Amino acid sequence: MFHSRLSPETVHARFHAMKRDLTEPLAHRFTTQDGRDLVAVVATMKPDDRIVGVARYSRIDAHTAEVAFVVEDAYQGRGIGTELMRALRRVALRNGVQTFVAEILPDNVRMRALLHASGVCREQTRNGEVTVSLAVGDPEGSS
């Protein structure tokens, strides 16, 4: 299972807490998508098509969606997050999403870098978390 291959540091960065195992309701939420308001894209590796990364969004309102990314530790730093962002943006644009927001921990430098490399971001820090907003259709991020 993908989640069990993540390091404690990666789990903490993604969930802001330790979750060694996903609860059944959370696993159901992560695997139930409608392709419009709840969307996930995955990165797989040959030869067995093993999932090594997941990006998802959950619509907040008509034009805004919260995003989250996780890449298996052994595959981090290889551009998988960037490719997942590109794929997620394409789906979001088709579905009318104009803004991605992400709530991240201040020390999650990889996620901050991914978001900032994807276009012009606005950041706001509150209650120990950084909320980053990114225009989905921002031409700087559509490379």
pLDDT digits (tens, 9 = 90+) for 54-94: 999 999 999 999 999 889 888 888 999 999 999 999 999 99
129 SS3 class: strand
Q: Does residue 139 carry a pLDDT above 60? A: no
- Measured CA to CA, the distance from residue 78 to residue 86 in angstroms comes to 15
Q: Does residue 5 carry a pLDDT above 90? A: no
| pLDDT tens digits, one per residue of 6-60 | 655 665 555 545 555 666 666 656 667 788 999 999 999 888 888 899 999 999 9
65: tokens are 């969606």
pLDDT of residue 128: 82
Number of residues written out for the chain: 143
pLDDT tier at 110, thresholds 50, 70, 90 = confident
Query: When comparing pLDDT for 120 and 100, which is higher?
Result: 100
**22-37 in b/e burial notation, b at 16+ Cβ within 10 A?**
beeeeeeebeeeeeee
- Measured CA to CA, the distance from residue 107 to residue 42 in angstroms comes to 24
- 3-141: what fold? Aminopeptidase (3.40.630)
Q: Does residue 141 carry a pLDDT above 50? A: no
- For 13, residues 6+ apart whose C-beta sits below 8 A from its C-beta are 104, 105, 108, 110, 111
pLDDT of residue 10: 61
- Measured CA to CA, the distance from residue 92 to residue 105 in angstroms comes to 24
pTM of the predicted model, to two decimals? 0.76
